[in-house]
Amino acid sequence: MVVTHRVLLDVDTGIDDALAIMFAVAHPEIELLGITCVAGNTSLENVVANTLKVLDVAEAPSIPVAAGSRRPLIEPARASHVHGGDGLGDVGLPVSAREVDPRHASDFLRDTLLAQDEPVTIVALAPQTNLALLLRQYPEVVPKIERILFMGGSASGGNATAVAEFNVWHDPEAAAIVIDSGVPTFMYGLDVFNQVTIDERDADELLLGPSASGRLAGALLHHQMADDAEGEPNPDGYAGHIGDAGAVCALVDPEALHVERRPVRVELAGASRGQTVVDRRQRVGEDAVHGAHAAPDRTPTGAAGGTAGALAGPLPVDVALDVDRLRYARLFLDTIALLP
């Protein structure tokens, strides 16, 4: 295989972000140009430390890692309770000697994007605060972004609230800025996120195997997510979700997904704050008939005549709605097996 995807990862490492980072490092079709970190699953300090530790285990080359936002644009930081005390399942990895890029994530992204001859894909596995700041501060980067593939949102129910998925709920204003920016976006949300799991026997083989990366992946797959705010483990035991790693699988094997191009709006107020409203209607609705819906201005942020945030209606997003879960499970296992 040859490199076909030049990628920047934005993460809040987290158990499933760690699995995604290892997958991205290992897959031969991916060139990982850098990783930016944001508060989300855990504090920014933990996210950076966890990212460096995972790169060490995977024996990754010198991939730049930059720290970004400590909190959402408006809300305080609200770490998830499900990833353990350090955000990485408390597996006890040693501290890394890798150095962190001194630039803020948004500056690192700007510099890296503008230095490229061809547009780059951003894979966002976290609250999109860093990306919103990038697009607001440096709209000149838009032509350098091929698309933003983000893990977030849902066309059905939520997990942070009854209707909102965690990454979007954590910073809904940032998600709205990214979706409304005019940059092509792909949503790998809870509809597919929750489907892809690794059989417990396969996770056992990783955990007991000779590969350090495999043992880490096995330990993370076996981590029992906390079932309540006090950190009590899930009584159902083993779950084995690859989570965010599925979004990176979507990059290299999109044919395993059922995708529909649908208008998406992020709710910013009330009980539905953080919900991604995916319009799956087949006919014109009463909102259009009675003037409550207008066609959006599809001029990208920063393009001639375009004004950030001046969109009259929701822009279309490629939304993953179903997945061949066994195919992605096999892809994940085969890719992790390439690591030392």
Residue pair 170/266 in contact (Cβ under 8 Å)? The answer is: no
Say what the pLDDT of residue 232 is. 54
CA–CA dist 125, 37 (Å, integer):
10
Say what the pLDDT of residue 102 is. 98
Say what the pLDDT of residue 312 is. 52
Element (H, E) at 31: strand 30-37
Say what the pLDDT of residue 239 is. 86
Q: What is the pLDDT along the chain (340 residues), one digit of tens a residue?
A: 577 899 999 999 999 999 999 999 999 999 999 999 999 999 999 999 999 999 999 999 999 999 999 999 999 988 877 788 888 988 999 999 999 999 999 999 999 999 999 999 999 999 999 999 999 999 999 999 999 999 999 999 999 999 999 999 999 999 999 999 999 999 999 999 999 999 999 999 999 999 999 999 999 999 976 554 554 555 567 889 999 999 999 999 999 999 999 999 999 999 999 999 999 998 877 877 776 554 444 444 444 333 333 345 789 999 999 999 999 999 999 999 999 9
Apex 205 CA angle, 202 and 208, nearest 5: 150
Using the Cα atoms of residue 80, residue 84, residue 85 and residue 90 in order, give the sign of their dihedral.
negative
Query: From the centroid of its chain, how far is CA 106?
Result: 16
The CATH code for residues 5-336 is 3.90.245.10
Query: From the centroid of its chain, how far is CA 315?
Result: 20
In the chain, where the domains are located: 5-336
CA–CA dist 264, 74 (Å, integer):
21
Active site residues: 12
Say what the pLDDT of residue 258 is. 98
Name the pTM for this structure: 0.91
| Residues with Cβ within 8 Å of residue 160, at least 6 apart in sequence | 166, 169, 170, 274
Tokens of 141: 């980067």
| DSSP annotation string for 257-305 | EEEEEEEEEE--SGGGTT-EEE---SS--HHHHTTS------PPTTSTT
Using the Cα atoms of residue 259, residue 157, residue 327 and residue 120 in order, give the sign of their dihedral.
positive
Say what the pLDDT of residue 286 is. 80
